[in-house]
Structure 1
């Protein structure tokens, strides 16, 4: 089943707004974790072709799901919560509930940018074909990618 395309900017704006409101009640590490991941999302928007940027954003979203559960469960104020406090806590919880859906959409973007499949069917399933890789104990001298074409022949002599 193909997921509908969702703009990464919409995901970022939504989580930024919910995180900002969640910081009314939760601050400190909640704010640091979520705003750091949103910064990775801005990087993923700026670098449209980068698999690394979208992969880091996806990994960060997955990590903040766990961190938000821990943080909200430990620091949720149980007594004396004002209307503003209830609103802030509700927005933090809503952000947490929306993150798995955001992860699905971001994973789809990760695959569109050329990322590898992260979920394998079976623990000992097929691995990547690594026949094109040069082995560590190879007798061939590595070629410097920054050397000029004239210098590439001189790598074996140690220049």
Structure 2
């Protein structure tokens, strides 16, 4: 059973990641993610809105794909740096701890879904006419002939040297 990638709607992708990002930024008294996480993810989602608005734009979907790919790395860095600090500040009421756990869970779910989103965005990029081929086949020739003809042109002919003079031109004038 083949999955038809075109069924997935770009609007649903943007909306789903927006909801997960908003929930990840919740933290109650424990604000565990910095503003850079919010700026990164909401900027990528703004580019996603641009991709929704311009249905035929290859640039918009490519920028959304590139931003989503970069945000995967940045999310991992944010979680690695700030999660440990937030665990130390968990001496709060149970409701605050529950909000923190919910926010962390949504952030992790958002991060888990991003590679699948990138695959869907790549498929949409190809459907819109993008040509980013990833071929890792080493057996394929890297360079091919630019000329479609099979005829080999003749080698260039040497240029004959210019005639040489034996000295300055005033030496050959008759002096009266």
Q: Which has the larger radius of gyration?
A: 2
Same fold (TM over 0.5): yes
The CA distance in 2 between the partners of 1:126 and 1:2, in whole Å, is 33
Aligned residues: 131
Q: Where in structure 2 are the equivalents of 1:73-112 lying within 5 Å?
A: 73-76=80-83, 77-79=86-88, 80=90, 82-112=97-127
2:130 to 115, 125, 136: 115
Q: TM-score, normalised by structure 1?
A: 0.74
Cα offsets for 1:5-64 (capped at 9, x unmatched): 210000000000000011124231000000000000000000100000000000000000
Unaligned runs of 5+ in 2: 27-31, 92-96, 148-176
Q: TM-score, normalised by structure 2?
A: 0.68
> What's the secondary structure of 1:78's corresponding residue?
helix
RMSD: 2.3
Give the aligned partner of residue 154 of structure 2.
none
> What's the secondary structure of 2:5's corresponding residue?
coil
Q: Where in structure 2 are the equivalents of 1:1-159 lying within 5 Å?
A: 3-5=4-6, 6-24=8-26, 25-76=32-83, 77-79=86-88, 80=90, 82-122=97-137, 126=142
Aligned-residue offset at 1:120: 2.0
The CA distance in 2 between the partners of 1:117 and 1:93, in whole Å, is 29
Aligned-residue offset at 1:121: 2.4
The CA distance in 2 between the partners of 1:128 and 1:110, in whole Å, is 27
**Preserved contact between residue 5 and residue 123 of structure 2 (Cα < 8 Å):** no
Aligned-residue offset at 1:118: 3.7
